[in-house]
Amino acid sequence: MYSEKVMDHFNNPRNVGEIENPSGVGTVGNAKCGDIMRMYLDIDENQVIKEAKFKTFGCGAAVATSSMATELVKGKTVQEALNVTNKAVMEALDGLPPVKVHCSLLAEEAIHAALWDYATKHNITIDGLEQPVNDIGEKEEAPQEVY
Ligand code: FES
């Protein structure tokens, strides 16, 4: 059901922990499943992400996607980090079962929340970054626009 890469990142998650005095930190949850994710970013003066760490009360898919997401954002600028979408993370993991796709959103949104915190503290704008929501379950329920 899970790819080898997912199992690897679940069994040996990378970048678990906290960063002391992070440049940005963000926490998001999904009230539907009760899972919570906190993401810490260390960003240098050139706006490059030097370190990314996460802590989660989340399911296995949330652990694996966050592990991969933190690996992917490291070395990227804050702007480039926006390209690390949940889709990109799932591709890097060779896919997730459809019922677990929402779990990958937790990592993406937590990174966005941490970037938002960084941008707010440093008074900068990251193009395309929207103010994060605390409960990403709300987003999933957002009505589809009808044209
Ligand atoms: Fe909640 Fe996976 S079931 S994040």
Q: What was the pLDDT predicted at 4?
A: 96
Q: What was the pLDDT predicted at 145?
A: 52
Architecture field, domain 4-122:
Alpha-Beta Complex (3.90)
Q: What was the pLDDT predicted at 75?
A: 98
Q: What was the pLDDT predicted at 141?
A: 53
Q: What is the pLDDT of residues 40-94, one digit of tens each?
A: 999 999 999 999 999 999 899 999 999 999 999 999 999 999 999 999 999 999 9
CA of 106 to the centre of ligand 1 (A): 8
Catalytic pick among 37, 78, 96, 103: 103
Domain ranges of the chain: 4-122
Please give the mean pLDDT across all residues of the chain. 92
Q: What is the DSSP string of 17-70?
A: S--SS-SEEEEEEETTTTEEEEEEEEE-TTSBEEEEEEEEE--HHHHHHHHHHH
Q: Indicate if ligand 1 lies below 6 Å from the C-beta of 59.
A: yes
Q: Note the Cα 38 to chain centre separation in Å.
A: 9
Q: What was the pLDDT predicted at 139?
A: 65
